[in-house]
């Protein structure tokens, strides 16, 4: 593949990721309990309530994939920022690794 087609593929991938980030808050279930219900089947209820009350060691910059006070717009922004951050980190690591080879 040529560099031009690689860059086109890269930009299309970014556009799809951003599109998914924008649509995710509107398409996601309002009752996302899959992980919690799976844990409930494995962990005793008394231990589960202790786990839920435990404070995290490090706080999340955007808890529950949202920016507080902005509603759905805050969810879109939080997911878009997270998506772009992961893409930037991946691109940076890719460049560092490719220079070592």
What is the tally of structural domains in the chain?
1
Asked whether residue 51 is domain-assigned, the answer is: no
Give the list of residues 6+ apart from residue 48 with CB closer than 8 angstroms, or none.
Answer: 39, 40
Asked whether residue 76 is domain-assigned, the answer is: yes
Asked whether residue 22 is domain-assigned, the answer is: yes
Can you give the pLDDT at residue 61? 80
Q: Which residue has the higher pLDDT, 16 or 99?
A: 16
Asked whether residue 44 is domain-assigned, the answer is: no
Q: Can you tell me the mean pLDDT for 20-46?
A: 75
Asked whether residue 68 is domain-assigned, the answer is: yes
Can you give the pLDDT at residue 1? 66
Asked whether residue 49 is domain-assigned, the answer is: no
Asked whether residue 74 is domain-assigned, the answer is: yes
d(CA 77, CA 91): 21
* Average pLDDT in the chain: 81
Can you give the pLDDT at residue 32? 58
* Domain, as residue range, for 81: 1-27+61-101
Question: 31 by DSSP, 3-state: which?
Answer: coil
Asked whether residue 90 is domain-assigned, the answer is: yes
Q: Can you tell me the mean pLDDT for 1-21?
A: 86
Q: State the number of CA atoms in the 13 A half-sphere of 57 facing the CB.
A: 0
Can you give the pLDDT at residue 71? 84
């Amino acid at each position: 593949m040529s560099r031009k087609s690689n860059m086109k593929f890269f930009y299309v991938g970014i556009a799809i990721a951003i599109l998914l980030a924008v649509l995710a808050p509107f398409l996601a279930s309002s009752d996302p309990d899959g992980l919690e219900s799976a844990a409930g089947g494995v962990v005793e209820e008394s231990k589960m309530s202790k786990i839920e009350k435990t404070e995290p060691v490090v706080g999340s910059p955007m808890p529950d994939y949202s920016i507080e006070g902005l509603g759905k717009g805050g969810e879109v922004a939080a997911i878009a920022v997270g998506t772009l951050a992961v893409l930037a980190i991946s691109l940076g690591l890719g460049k560092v690794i490719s220079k070592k080879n």
